[in-house]
Amino acid sequence: MSNPPVALHTLSRRRRIGILLICSMSLLIVSLDVTILNVALPSIGHDLHTTVSGLQWTVDAYTLVLASLLMLSGSTGDRLGRRKVFLTGLGLFTVGSLLCSVAPSLGLLVVFRMMQAVGGSMLNPVAMSIVTNTFTDPRERAQALGIWAAVVGVSMAFGPLVGGALVDSVGWRSVFWINIPIGIAAIVLTTIFVPESKAPRPRRLDAVGQALVIVILTTLTYAIIEAPNKGWSSPLITTCWIASVVSIVALLRWEKRRDEPLLELRFFHSIPFAGAAVLALAAFGAQGGFLFLNTLYLQEVRGLSPIHAGLALLPMAVMALVLPPLSGRMVGTRGSRLPLLISGLGTLAGFLLLSRLSATSSMWYVEFSYAVFGVGFGFVNAPITTAAVAGMPRAQAGVASAVASTSRQVGATLGVAVVGALAVSAAHRGPVRASDLVSGWWVLVGAGVVILVVGQLVTSARARLSAEITARELNPEYLEGLAT
């Protein structure tokens, strides 16, 4: 017989810190998988005889499924039990990693990546829901989310380096092995230390909304990735564009009619909440696009080995490792305005520098540019997460945090799709040159502008007022236990 759900915030401080560390392990394997894989992409392409578009699908098949299912998984954890769903996700992700390591073809690798993503969708939003319900004090939560965000920095610091070493010494298949022991350890520790918890009033399943989300993301991503090969005006690509637009309109109309929608549109009346979604799209679109372009630049243009490409990323990775806890403390003590200003300026400056790269650029210049972008990325995650859950119903924490997580994954998906499509179009099926990547870097400059502008908007007095008005407009019964 299973233990009844408990109020996580009533646990001892030591127990709550332990839960934070266990939940962070799930974020580690998900984010580590992405950074390690990017270093391995050229080797996968050579071994499985695939094009740049094929490499895009290796990355985007994962992020696409992840983005499609995050909101469903968040609400499922609130409804069925967060611990139960979290354990299921760990199991699927670990098994999927094992299957990826033995995939004999690109097609099967993409399928197994999708299996990983199904498991991964049950990890981050559910784990973030556990963390949000465990740390209810605003300052403690901000600091906990800073630690949470630092895990992404750990993956960026060690992922490329470990991935490069594994690819050089054992081969690309070994990059999936590292998930297996971490996944098993997380399963054991979760079983022992994390109690079951549920939302007092979870949402009902919204099957139509979920189906429309899948159609939107699939058709949009397919159109962007395949358009350079099939033609931007080809019947198939045009059909995908039309299907994505029609599905977006249908989703908005359907969700407005639902009492308990998959995507709570009323939340977006709050400027901080809506801004958090936009910031997540821009920041993680920048990260996803950066990792993809960087792999092409270092290994295809510069001819570096995977291990040397991983070492080149260290300046950026160090910034992404050490700055998120500082950002979390700043958010907890001074608010989000300054961290978002630093993030916007760092991201913008970093990509302006990278837009000037050539095949013979000094590696000092390259690594300095990476470090500047690392400053921007290191400061962005804690304020995004804080804005996403601030003023939202704690009972629906899984859904609220899943919107931010979904925005991150949609951003990463579109970032890879857009910059990859531009690179393919510029290369004309020939070897990739530094000049082929310039348009992609400029797209990412635009992401830096978005972070800078939206970051200041969501921290304004008007934004705070909109959050208060939105909270009052929502059903008081639905707002039981507002997160502060």
CA distances from 48 to 106, 116, 175, 476 (A): 6, 20, 16, 56
Mark whether 284 and 416 lie in a shared domain. yes
CA distances from 432 to 14, 47, 300, 407 (A): 52, 18, 6, 30
Mark whether 200 and 212 lie in a shared domain. no
* Mean pLDDT value across residues 464-483: 61
Whether 277 maps to a domain, the answer reads yes
Mark whether 214 and 297 lie in a shared domain. no
Whether 3 maps to a domain, the answer reads no
* pLDDT value, residue 249: 95
- Report pTM: 0.81
* pLDDT per position as a tens digit, 46-93: 898 887 888 888 888 888 888 888 778 877 887 888 889 999 999 999
For residue 135, give both structure tokens. Answer: 């740390």
- Find out whether 385 and 23 touch, Cβ atoms under 8 Å: no
Whether 483 maps to a domain, the answer reads no
Mark whether 348 and 422 lie in a shared domain. yes
In the predicted structure, residue 460 carries a pLDDT above the cut 90? no
* pLDDT per position as a tens digit, 405-422: 788 888 888 888 888 888
Residue 80 CB partners (closer than 8 Å, separation 6+): 198
Mark whether 301 and 428 lie in a shared domain. yes
- Find out whether 294 and 311 touch, Cβ atoms under 8 Å: no
- Find out whether 114 and 63 touch, Cβ atoms under 8 Å: no
- Count up the domains in the chain and report the number: 2
Whether 400 maps to a domain, the answer reads yes
Query: Where a domain ends, among 219, 240, 257?
Result: 257
Query: Where a domain ends, among 257, 272, 294?
Result: 257
Distance CA 31, CA 150 (A): 11
* pLDDT value, residue 4: 56
Mark whether 421 and 335 lie in a shared domain. yes
Mark whether 330 and 429 lie in a shared domain. yes
* pLDDT per position as a tens digit, 417-438: 888 888 877 756 567 788 888 9
Q: Give the burial string for 366-399 (b: 16+ CB within 10 Å, else e).
A: bbebbbbbbbbbbbbbbbbbbbbbbbbbbbbbbb
Q: At what angle do helices 337-354 and 438-457 cross, to 10 degrees?
A: 170
Whether 1 maps to a domain, the answer reads no
Handedness of CA 23, 26, 30, 33 (dihedral sign): positive
Mark whether 116 and 175 lie in a shared domain. yes
Residue 179 CB partners (closer than 8 Å, separation 6+): 29, 32, 33, 93, 94, 97
Give the domain range for residue 280.
8-206+258-473
Mark whether 433 and 368 lie in a shared domain. yes
